[in-house]
Structure 1
């Protein structure tokens, strides 16, 4: 994930959820609570489909970034520490990987303009909130999340961090779904 935001075409949170759900269906994993994000990135998107080149990077390659997705969709780089943590099931690291997959599906081949941090741009027009929404929808899809209301249950069932689980609960509550 990057702290740099870009202005992108507007997308509703519901439309981002549809993209994430469609990807789950395409993988045949629509009923699977725990998404194997590393396997999906390495084995499916890179090796089987040759859709994107996946690399593990270090500080020299990435500076302070945890993950980078090429705007042309050619590669995704995940920082070695984040990769290792995701392999070991760390919820925050798994979210970072899903976030980068979100950039791949939502922002490949579209013009990007740097966004100011003055709050003048709405979140649905910014790359980072959109990728975060994709990650949340992909890792904790609505149709499965509604069965698990507590933060602890979401963390356990979906393999996400407490912060991601709390944000998901707030989002579902704001929609009147729980």
Structure 2
């Protein structure tokens, strides 16, 4: 998690998995690498009235890799993050999916700012929810179950090995699959 945490209405991992699965179903992409940049750039402006996808400069965004302003229907990616995500770099694709999670999960709620996520139950933490959304959108359970290793998850779903390890661990901790090597 990065950036400030906001207290949001509670969502379980299963609720979030349902949301990300619904997005994949809506776009008719049940498995395989999710085209996050194409969805942000070309599709969302067509399906969400007023949506803006903005590439910000390093001068504008500083250390922020991505930013979502739900009330304005905006997702910002820093230009270098956008370029790497468009080239298929896993960490930057995850950042883009994380920002989409903020827009879709938190777009119609009022947020209560917390300086730290400590003491905030993770299921009420905006950053945990957006990370969970990104993980389940980019690495859907049914596809991950077909993989034989973390390296295969990373390769098929075009995510970083760290993201693949984390998602594999989350799914196995929840008893949804056997942990892969």
TM-score range, shorter chain: over 0.9
Please give the root-mean-square deviation of Cα atoms over the aligned residues, in Å.
Answer: 1.4
Matched, 1:110 2:109: yes
Q: CA deviation at 1:50?
A: 4.5
Provide Cα deviations, 1:136-178, integer angstroms capped at 9, x if missing partner. Answer: 0100001111111411101100000011001011111102222
Does residue 1:137 correspond to 2:133, yes or no?
no
Distance 1:172 1:118, change over 3 A: closer
- The 2-side partners of 1:134 and 1:149 are apart by 23
| Contact 1:149 1:169 (C-alpha < 8 Å) held by counterparts | no
CA–CA distance in 1 between the matches of 2:141 and 2:17? 8
The one-character-per-residue Cα deviations of 1:97-133 (angstroms, maximum 9, x if unpaired) are 0001101110002111112426211111000010000
d(CA) in 2 for partners of 1:49, 1:15:
22
Deviation for aligned residue 1:4? 0.9
User: Do the aligned residues in 1 keep the contact of 2:117 with 2:125 (CA within 8 Å)?
Assistant: no
What does residue 24 of structure 1 align with?
Answer: 24
The corresponding residue for 2:82 is 83
Consecutive aligned runs of 4 or more in structure 1 exceeding 4 Å deviation? none
Report the more deviating stretch, 127-136 or 67-76: 67-76
Corresponding residue pairs, total: 176
- 1:49 — aligned with what? 47
SS of the aligned residue for 2:70 comes to: coil
- Secondary structure class of the residue paired with 2:64: coil
Is 1:12–2:2 an aligned residue pair?
Answer: no
TM-score, normalised to structure 2's length?
A: 0.92
Structure 1, residues 20-76: CA drift from partner, whole Å, max 9, x if none? 000111111113x11111101111002x32542101001232121111111315211
- Whole-Å separation in 2 of the counterparts to 1:118 and 1:79: 24
